């Protein structure tokens, strides 16, 4: 047995043990996750224990020069999933990104990062602002506001519930 193979066997054994430990949400495991920027330790609890039962929506509106706020325009999602998504589903990238950003927002222990002015420095806020800045203009207004909202699905007919509402920003 070569030295390389011995090294690989040890590596695989350690990797598998750490993967098993990573499935438990303990504090020491959280520390483990923080030192895993390459995301080599998997988390396999798909859709459990709390399955994602919401869709996330990003909308924006414009403020006219007279200070009047316009109607909301949807940036994401722009279309329903087609039947071909079993083979080809590029839109899941956008859905998953917005969902992950919402999880980051929900994970902030400090509530001021979710609601106060300091929320403007958080990654979810900056990403949403970045996206709506580039959205197609509906008027000559240069001031915009966005809202990140969630809604239960097709059957229940829920209303949009705001998660993150921005200030007005000049774009």
Residue entry with tokens 């459990």? 48
Out of 32, 73, 77, 169, the only residue in the binding site for other proteins (CB under 8 A) is: 77
Tell me which stretch binds other proteins (CB under 8 A): 105-113, 138-146, 152-160, 161-169: 152-160
CA quadruple 32, 33, 34, 36: dihedral sign: positive
| Cβ 69 to other proteins shortest distance, Å | 23
Select from 64, 153, 162, 167 the one that contacts other proteins (CB under 8 A): 153
Asked if 159 touches other proteins (CB under 8 A), the answer is no
Any alpha helices (H) in 53-153, and if so which ranges? 92-106, 112-115, 123-133
CB of 169 to other proteins, least distance (A): 14
Query: Phi and psi for 151 in degrees, rounded to 5?
Result: -150, 140
Phi (first) and psi of residue 127, to 5 degrees: -65, -45
Whether the Cβ atoms of residue 130 and residue 98 lie closer than 8 Å to each other? no
Cβ nearer to other proteins, comparing 101 with 113:
101
Residues 6+ apart with CB under 8 A from 105: 113, 114, 122, 124, 148, 163, 164
C-alpha span between 24 and 45 (Å, rounded): 10
Q: Which positions from 57 to 76 touch other proteins by CB under 8 A, shown as an x/- string?
A: --------------------
Nearer to other proteins, 95 or 169 (CB): 95
Q: Which residues contact other proteins (rule: CB under 8 A)?
A: 1-2, 4-5, 8-9, 11-12, 15-16, 19-20, 23, 34, 37-40, 42-55, 77, 80-81, 85-101, 104, 123, 126-128, 130-131, 133-134, 152-156
């Amino acid at each position: 047995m070569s030295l390389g193979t011995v090294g690989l066997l040890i590596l695989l054994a350690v990797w598998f043990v750490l993967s098993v430990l990573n499935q438990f949400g303990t504090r020491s495991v959280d520390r483990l996750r923080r030192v895993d920027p390459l995301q080599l330790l998997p988390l396999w609890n798909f859709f459990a224990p709390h399955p994602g039962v919401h869709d996330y929506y990003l909308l924006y509106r414009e403020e006219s020069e007279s200070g009047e706020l316009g109607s909301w325009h949807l940036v994401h999602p722009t279309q329903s999933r087609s039947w071909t998504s079993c083979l080809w589903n590029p839109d899941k990238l956008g859905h998953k990104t917005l969902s992950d950003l919402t999880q980051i927002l929900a994970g902030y222990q400090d509530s001021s990062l979710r609601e106060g002015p300091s929320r403007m420095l958080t990654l979810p806020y900056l990403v949403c602002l970045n996206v709506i800045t580039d959205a197609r203009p509906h008027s000559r207004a240069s001031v915009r506001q966005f809202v990140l909202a969630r809604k239960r699905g097709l059957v229940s007919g829920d209303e949009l519930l705001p998660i993150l509402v921005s200030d007005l920003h000049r774009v």
